[in-house]
Amino acid sequence: MSLSLPAQRVAGRSPFAANTASAFRPELQGLRALAVVLVMVYHVWFGRVSGGVDVFLLLSAFFLTGAFIRKVEGGRPVGLLTYWLNVFRRLLPAAVLVLLATIAASVALLPKARWNSIMEQITASLFYVQNWQLARESVDYYAAEHATASPLQHFWSLSIQGQVFILWPLLLAAGMLLWRALGARIPALSYRMTLGALFGVVFALSLAYSIHATATAQEWAYFDTGARLWEFALGSLVAIFLPLLQRLPAALTVPAGWLGLGAILSCGVLLQVDHEFPGYLALWPTLAAAFVIIAPSHRLGVQRVLSVPPLGWLGNLSYALYLWHWPVMVFFLVESGSERISLGAGLGIMVVSLLLAWATTRIVESPMRSWHWLSAKRRRAGLSIAVLLSLVLVPLGGWEHRVVAEETRAASQAQVDNPGAAILDPGFGHEPSSAAVMVPLTTKLDEEWSNFGAECTGQWAPESPAIEYCQQGGNPQAEKTIVLLGDSHAQHWSGAVDAMAQKHGWRWILLTKPSCRFGGPSDTRGQECGAFNAAAGEYVLGHGPDAVITLGSFTALGPDRHGRTAGEQERVVPDYEAGIRPLLEADIPVVALRDTPRFPTAAPECVDRFGAEAEQCSAPVSELMAETSPLEGLAAGGTLGKGFSTMDMTDQLCPDGICRPVIGNVLVYLDESHLTSTFARTTAAEFEKRFLAALAGPR
């Protein structure tokens, strides 16, 4: 695909009177260097973002748009397909090297619980859709609950850039066609003026959307390409109108350049970039970068600082440095077990990243960029891209095959080799084979959220919009109904409830909202949780089930690891009595289930790293739970009446007073505190016995 205009069609058209020659500006290389240094510093030591990425986005559009304008104004063919092939031929070598290194380091260092996520992100990064992968995870409660930093998380901005490198040439070509169509009727119209109108519209629409999306769903907006297009459009507008802007008096533009530099340096300090961007606040770093670009070459100008050779050298490495710094930092944290990075360790990370970036640029990136034989024919460029993609896809496929083979082996094991909680029964007489693998495998944890029912329908479908998640299971024609009510810690027992209901021919209903433990109105809950609890209470009163199971206590982290005093790690759910009292007054029995232990780190990752029997992965129950269940006080008081009873499954999770990550060759937890559906199902017999005993207790 090639679009061009005769050179004479351009001459004398533009009032901008710009020189079409490409003039190298060393201060912009310095600006790139400054941006990448800010990104690294804030990532390594402050755990925040700096606004430096926004500078990169604007600069990429500035350079791209300027290059296309010079082609069109010079009467040269645009060559869209050739452009796309050459862009990705230049971008992929360094990215592929980092992805290969990430595969090797992930297999060697990361727990298997994270492998599937890393595989997905490698594919997403390779094909420039990582931002959408992260956007989906950012609004998914169950993904965010146990998420840890990915070594490829930083590819989100490169993915957006890759998408724009495809979209922007189309817009630039559309602008050229529009100019050609209108030029006969509007002789004064120039290509730059046409582009100015086009990208002005993109800027306005995208900024308006970005402000709205950031206010309503910031976690999504941060990674949303649509919410970032205005930053690229601003860079394009600067490139389009640069000849006019550079005619402004030096008394105005020279101070503006210094103001822009100061604004870039202070952005991450003064703004909560990671919680408030992109929105209108992202105008801060992008306009600041625009001020620096507009600033003229002047003896007092900002270029005197940004044009120094060390910054120019660092600017040449900025792409590779951005690629390397994040995985180097993440794998350092994984291997060291540290939560924070000291000054010395941070400097070491930067030095290692810089050396890797230099070697990548010198040995891989620069030779590939300058190899004109590859770009001489489009099929050669296309073939080189295919080879680069295969360099990642082949080992990635081998890694995935290895994981699938292990999962197939685990699925074929005899059930008696993975008894789970059933092994705690004194009558259980089988010893699991020493050759049997633990189930579920930590690579299968995404399938371990308990979802044993179907969407509530008919008379059981909730009318209130505050109840978004309602499941029903068991016998649809049952005369007796049990309601399981609360947050995800109620949900993870649904496997045991389902098995019990199937045995007795009961119906069961699950009403749940993530991170919303059931109780009465409370200042500790948000409005959404309060609305859900009120609606759930009305639902139960309206349907009159035969029993309700709720979580009555709430576990936090233990005293020895976080300096808490004994007993503070477990308490009654705030305003719990106010929530269940209306149910009890309506003669609906309520069984308060004690919460599960909460480990300081994800149990599956500990098992992968140290082994199921490792001391680091277990803890005495006294460290994770209160010495005496706080629910006993509620039951002993008698103020709630005979319809209230309690239920404690702690000894099934912490046999002999030790909370273990694996029991009966079954992984107990899928993160710090949620039970795997496989293990919860193995507790069904004991759960049933204790539930029936609780209902049959003194009335």
CB atoms within 10 A of CB 126: 22
Q: What is the pLDDT of residues 113-129, one digit of tens each?
A: 899 999 999 999 999 99
Helix (H, G, I), strand (E, B) or coil at 509: strand
Collect contacts of 261-267 with beta carbons under 8 A, ≥24 apart: 261/34, 261/288, 261/292, 261/302, 261/305, 261/306, 262/288, 263/287, 263/288, 263/291, 264/31, 264/34, 264/35, 264/38, 264/51, 264/52, 264/55, 264/288, 264/289, 264/292, 265/34, 265/38, 267/50, 267/51
Is a pLDDT exceeding 80 seen at residue 19? no
- Please report, for the chain, the start and end positions of each structural domain, with discontinuous segments joined by +: 28-396, 438-599+620-652+676-695
Banded model confidence at residue 641, pLDDT cuts 50, 70, 90: confident
Banded model confidence at residue 369, pLDDT cuts 50, 70, 90: confident
Is a pLDDT exceeding 60 seen at residue 683? yes
Q: What is the pLDDT of residues 466-523, one digit of tens each?
A: 998 999 999 989 999 999 999 999 999 999 999 999 999 999 999 999 989 999 887 7
Q: Helices 283-294 and 26-41 sit at what angle, rounded to 10 degrees?
A: 150
Banded model confidence at residue 377, pLDDT cuts 50, 70, 90: confident
**Could you tell me which of 114, 130, 112 has the C-alpha nearest to residue 122?**
130
Start-to-end CA distance of the chain, whole Å, equals 82
CB atoms within 10 A of CB 246: 16
Is a pLDDT exceeding 60 seen at residue 174? yes
Helix (H, G, I), strand (E, B) or coil at 114: helix
CB 548 within 8 A of CB 483: yes
Average pLDDT over residues 50-63: 94
DSSP readout, 16-41?
Answer: T----S----HHHHHHHHHHHHHHHH
**Could you tell me which of 597, 569, 573, 537 has the C-alpha nearest to residue 646?**
573
Whether the upstream peptide bond of residue 462 has omega within 30° of 0, thus cis, is no
User: Biggest alpha carbon distance in the chain?
Assistant: 98
The residue whose two tokens read 């790293």 is 609
**pLDDT for position 526:** 80
**pLDDT for position 50:** 87
Of 192-201, 314-323, 598-607, give the lowest mean pLDDT range: 598-607
| Environment class of 478 (CB within 10 Å of its CB; exposed 0-12, middle 13-18, buried 19+) | middle
Q: What is the pLDDT of residues 519-553, one digit of tens each?
A: 988 777 788 899 999 999 999 999 999 999 999 99
Is a pLDDT exceeding 60 seen at residue 16? no
When the pLDDT of each residue in the chain is averaged and rounded to a whole number, the result is: 88
| Environment class of 185 (CB within 10 Å of its CB; exposed 0-12, middle 13-18, buried 19+) | exposed
Banded model confidence at residue 376, pLDDT cuts 50, 70, 90: low
Is a pLDDT exceeding 90 seen at residue 210? yes
CB 573 within 8 A of CB 517: yes
Of 205-209, 371-375, 526-530, give the lowest mean pLDDT range: 371-375
| Environment class of 120 (CB within 10 Å of its CB; exposed 0-12, middle 13-18, buried 19+) | middle
Average pLDDT over residues 67-72: 91
**pLDDT for position 46:** 85
Measured distance CA(3)–CA(582) in Å, rounded: 73
Do you know the residue count of the chain? Answer: 699
Is a pLDDT exceeding 80 seen at residue 597? yes
Is a pLDDT exceeding 80 seen at residue 148? no
The one-letter code for the residue type at 36 is V
Is a pLDDT exceeding 70 seen at residue 698? no
Q: What is the pLDDT of residues 260-300, one digit of tens each?
A: 999 999 998 888 766 778 999 999 999 999 999 999 888 88
Measured distance CA(381)–CA(387) in Å, rounded: 10
CB 576 within 8 A of CB 537: no
Measured distance CA(657)–CA(529) in Å, rounded: 34
Is a pLDDT exceeding 70 seen at residue 14? no
Q: Could you give the dihedral angle defined by the CA atoms of residues 90, 91, 97 and 99, in that order, rounded to the nearest 10 degrees?
A: -160
**Could you tell me which of 558, 594, 590 has the C-alpha nearest to residue 577?**
590
**pLDDT for position 28:** 93
DSSP readout, 443-484?
Answer: GGGGG-S---SEE--GGGS--STT---EEEEE-TT-S-EEEE
**pLDDT for position 77:** 84
Measured distance CA(65)–CA(234) in Å, rounded: 11
Measured distance CA(176)–CA(172) in Å, rounded: 6
Tokens found for residue 571? 């308490």
Helix (H, G, I), strand (E, B) or coil at 647: strand
**pLDDT for position 441:** 93
The one-letter code for the residue type at 616 is Q
Q: How far is CA 89 from CA 57, 361, 431, in A?
A: 20, 14, 57
**Could you tell me which of 508, 577, 513 has the C-alpha nearest to residue 543?**
508
- CATH number belonging to the domain at 438-599+620-652+676-695, selected among 3.90.850.10, 3.40.630.10, 3.40.50.2300, 3.40.50.720: 3.40.50.2300
**pLDDT for position 557:** 64
Average pLDDT over residues 570-579: 90
User: What's the whole-model pTM score?
Assistant: 0.84
Helix (H, G, I), strand (E, B) or coil at 151: coil
Tokens found for residue 433? 């084979």
